[in-house]
Structure 1
């Protein structure tokens, strides 16, 4: 993924000029949507030395990094959509086979995000080295030396090695499990085949085995306008956590997270609406009502049978 630098932005790192040839805007090699503009192309581009004295070098690296972060945001939106799709499929039919296809897409998105994280870390390292005074005769080569080995190492891992400690995958599996089960979700390794180089089961710590709660730890009732803390990740009904914070301020004390064992100090600015969690809470309530109705219908059937046996009509 070489970094393209336009001569307009970085005088010391430009291409051979040709007024009749198109120029690609600064971007990443391998992208299919590089915009061809006047000046240089991928074919005429030449790597030039990048130094700390080049004022455009660091901003260009930072801009590239920001664009990768934007892609990660879209990937995470896709992860949430995949989870909602799997929930809907499981709700329509237990162990619906097409959930496997959704899971495969979920894995692919996790992989893409991890590879982007590796690339972002490589860009950060390049920026740090540049600020420390290191020159880069060929920044593309330097980037590849930082990123490629880590990408290769990650892609060589088995599914179990890649996803067994993934919080997102644990939530994905738990959300599916709770649709048709009332017991705790098994560890995620149940769905992840072990690779030949994986550690023994005795050495593993699985994520899973818990059930998702949709009750506010303050009101002990189902979430109303679910809100999540950016600091500790705990969730609450919005009005309840806001009242708790306001009450603490009136008493001139810090407002600690009300979840047992959490020492995070919360401010209103730390809270963010969580419509996805609220949607799952609403769906959970709907399933509970449906199960209750089914139990009541079952009781009525039993009562009718007993009456018939006694000869009471």
Structure 2
């Protein structure tokens, strides 16, 4: 059964087509999951079938399919080589079943792109083919999920921590690529499990709580700062009606009339400063410690 996080609001926008649905089923070990009918002209069909072969260690049909694919002579205009699910599945198959890797390396070289995400993904896949699973500049979540799918589970604690810290501080979705987002969600789950931490669904619930907490403390602080000022204004109004001849009341009215615009402008700036101070004090009083790096998801 696909885990609950796969059905959450965070996952839902990524599952609008069959390929991501099947990929999630593979990642979360959905029982009785069957790939669509194999169609060599359909890159998603190819990806699903190769992933299924890898997940269930079906070496013979995977090798036969790979031999058929090796007959293709792609170029930079071949659309199917830009299917991240397919290329990732082929990398997994090559490593899992010790297939010839030169053809897949050619695909990766043809996938040259100015897009930073695609460049980094290509570099990660090349390093996986080379057996380098812990390159410092790679998307470690990709190599981590590769290890899970192929059974080559040798996660590096340092790289795992670095990946976790990076994703923890990023707003969701982490990337523009749905493939990388799905990979990252699974990698987060693996990191949580390895550390005995919250599962991803609890993680996102905590993130939502943090956003609400920051927003509400800011509003409370604004209320605390604004109420005394409003009370002062109301008091001045009441005093004007009840004690129109009082010298102090006349002086206050005179100053307000003469410098009203400047006073309001100065008050606005002072109010913002006081609100910031009050917000920080309230959060500290409630035990909130802001991250040492990275921006909050709620505007401070």
Going by fraction, where is helix more abundant, 1 or 2?
Answer: 2
Q: Which has the larger radius of gyration?
A: 2
Common topology (TM > 0.5): no
TM bucket normalised to smaller: under 0.3
Scaled by the length of structure 1, the TM-score of the pair is 0.26
Between the two structures, name the one with larger relative contact order (CA 8 Å, sep ≥ 6). 2
